[in-house]
Structure 1
Amino acid sequence: MMGFLRTITTSTLGKYTHGGGALSEEEHRFYEVNGYIIRKNNVSDALLDEIGTRFVDICNGKIDVGMEIRLVKDASLKQKVVKGVNSVRKVQDCLHDDIFSKYVSDPAVTDIVTSIIGPNITAIHCMLLNKPLDANPNSSMDPLHQDLHGFPFRPPERIVASWTALENVDKDNGGLYMVPGTHTLELQPHDYFEWLRKSVSCHYADSNCLM
C-alpha cells in the first residue's frame, strides 16, 4: 500500500493541486477535500524486496554507510542484548543511498508527486521506519502529527510525502493513519512518541519553496 499526503491535481489549479498529471479526476477531487490518496501495489515488489534486503544488510553491518546514513536504535532495547534488524527503529537520511534512491526516483512515485506539487520537485528527506519485534510498544508508537513542524520552508501546499509499506499492514500491526481534511488546518501543538510497522517514505517539495 502506498499513500501520498498533503496535495493533488485536476485540470485546473486548486489550492492543494497543481493540475494535470498521473492522477484521475476522481483522485484529484478526493485529495483536494481529504488531503491524501491511496494507490495499492503502486511500487513493484522487486523494488520493495531490494529495499528490504538493503535495510537488513545495513542493520547487520554488511554495508559501510559512513556518516551519510544514521541508524536510530529503539530506546526500550538499550538494556537488552539485541542486535541487527530487531534493534533498529529507523534508518534516517538515506536519500542518496544507491538502493533507497531508486524509491525516491521511481516514476511510480514521482509521477504522482509531480501531479501534486508540480514538475520542479526536490526530494528533501527519506527514511525507513521499522517496528522491532521485542520493543516496548509505547517506544515505537507515533501519534497523529503534522510533518510541517519539521520543515522550515513554505508554502505547505507545495510539500508532499509518499509512504509505502514493505509488508502487509493493517490496523493491528501499525498502518498509516490520516484524518481527512486536516491538511487545511493550522499547525497544532504536538507531543511526540513513535509507532509504525516496516515502511519507507520520502518527502518532496516544489523546488521554488522558500525558507
Structure 2
Amino acid sequence: MPKSVDEEKVKEAVRQRYGEIASRVAQEEAVSCCATSCCVPEKVGGSAAGLYSPEELAGLPSSVTDVTLGCGNPTAIAGLKPGEVVLDLGSGGGIDVLLAARQVGPTGKAIGLDMTREMIDLAQKNAQKVGAQNVEFRLGEMEDMPLEEESIDVIISNCVINLSPDKDRVFAEAYRVLKPGGRMVISDLVTEGHLPSAVRQSVEAW
C-alpha cells in the first residue's frame, strides 16, 4: 500500500491503545476479586455476547469476554480439526485462541501472536485460569512473524489486519508460515471505496 502515514507511529499508537485496555483489565481484576471468581465491573472493550454463542462463552472468565475487541467469530467458520496447529494474529486477551484450542484438542495447538506485551500477559493469565494446556502466546508483529516456515495449518484473525499499515507484508508472512494446503480465515473491516487523504494520513484514524 502507499506509504501515506508513518508506519512506526501507527504501530506505537495501536500498541499504546490496546496496552492501556489490557492494563485496565488487570488493575480492575486486582481490586475486584472475591472468592474464586473475578469480575470486571465495567466493560473496557467490546462484548462477546453478540459474536459468540453461550456454549462458546461457557467457562470463560470476564477478563476474556469483556476485553473482546473483534468484529466477528473466525473460529465458528474455520472448520478447525483435531490435531491442527492454529495461529491467531492479534490475539488480544485470548478468546479466539482459547476457543481454537478447544476445537483442535490435546493433539493440536493454538498460538496467539500480539505485539502488545500487556495483552500477552493478560492472555497468558486467562489461559491459566481456564487450564488450557495446548496454547502459547508470542510477542511479535504480523509483518514479521516469529514462526518457522510452513509450520501452521490454519491462520485466524479477528478485526486486526486492518490495523496494520503494511497489509501486503502481513499476507506475505501468512503465506510463509502456512503449510502447503493451509488456510486463512479472517473477520475484519474493509472499505469498498477510497479513504480521503486526511484519514489515511491520520494516526488517530487507525
TM-score range for the pair, normalised by the shorter chain length? under 0.3
Higher relative contact order (CA 8 A, sep 6+): 1
Q: Which has a greater percent of helix?
A: 2
TM-score of the pair, normalised by structure 1 = 0.27
TM superposition score normalised by structure 2: 0.28
